[in-house]
Structure 1
Amino acid sequence: MKSLPYFCRGEVIRGFGRGSKELGIPTANFPDSVVDNLPADISTGIYYGWACVGNGDVYKMVMSIGWNPYYKNTKKSMETHVIHTFKEDFYGEILSVVMVGYIRPERSYDSLVEALITAINNDIEEAKAKLELPEHLKLRKDNFFTSAPSSSSAAPSPAASTSQTIMNGH
Structure 2
Amino acid sequence: MHCESAAAIVIDYNLPLTAEEFSEKIIPMYQERWPQVKPLPGANRLIKHLHKHGIPLALASNSVRKNVQKKISYQQGWKESFSVILGGDEVNHGKPSPDIYLESAKMMGVDPSRCLVIEDSSVGIEAAKAAGMKVVAIPSIPFRGDDFGAANCVLYSLLEFLPDQWGLPAFQDWVQSTLPIEPFYVSGVLRDGDPHGTPILMEHLPEENQTAPLPIQTSGVFFGWAKLGTRGAFKVVASIQWDISPAGARKLIRPHVLAEISSDTAGEKLRLLFVGFIRKLHRERRAKEGSSTTSAVSEEDKSVAAAALDLPAFADHKGNPFLADPSNPLKAYS
Category of TM-score, reference length = shorter chain: 0.5 to 0.7
CA distance in 2, matches of 1:124, 1:68: 22
Alignment pair present for 1:27 and 2:197: yes
- The answer as to whether partners of 2:185 and 2:214 remain within 8 angstroms in 1 is no
Q: Which runs of 4+ in 1 moved over 4 A?
A: none
CA shift in 2, pair 1:68/1:109, >3 Å: farther
Indicate which of 246, 254, 257 corresponds to 1:79: 254
Query: What are the within-5 Å matches in structure 2 for residues 8-157 of structure 1?
Result: 8-14=186-192, 26-34=196-204, 38-40=213-215, 42-67=217-242, 75-108=250-283, 120-149=298-327
CA distance in 2, matches of 1:133, 1:41: 28
CA shift in 2, pair 1:41/1:135, >3 Å: farther
Corresponding residue of 2:182: 4
Q: Structure 2: 5+ residue runs without aligned partners?
A: 1-40, 45-180, 205-209, 286-294
| TM-score scaled by length of structure 2 | 0.35
CA distance in 1, matches of 2:239, 2:250: 13
Q: Structure 1: 5+ residue runs without aligned partners?
A: 111-115, 151-164
Whichever of the two has the greater Rg, that structure is 2
CA shift in 2, pair 1:61/1:32, >3 Å: closer
- The answer as to whether partners of 2:186 and 2:203 remain within 8 angstroms in 1 is no
CA distance in 2, matches of 1:33, 1:129: 29
- Greater RCO, 1 or 2 (C-alpha within 8 Å, sep 6+): 1
CA distance in 2, matches of 1:149, 1:79: 24
Report the alpha carbon displacement of residue 166 of structure 1 after superposing the two structures with TM. 10
CA shift in 2, pair 1:10/1:137, >3 Å: same
Provide Cα deviations, 1:101-142, integer angstroms capped at 9, x if missing partner. 1111111479xxxxx87x610100110121111121111122
Paired-residue identity, %:
23
Report the alpha carbon displacement of residue 143 of structure 1 after superposing the two structures with TM. 1.7
| TM-score scaled by length of structure 1 | 0.65
SS of corresponding position for 1:61: strand
Provide Cα deviations, 1:138-170, integer angstroms capped at 9, x if missing partner. 1112222124239xxxxxxxxxxxxxx799x72
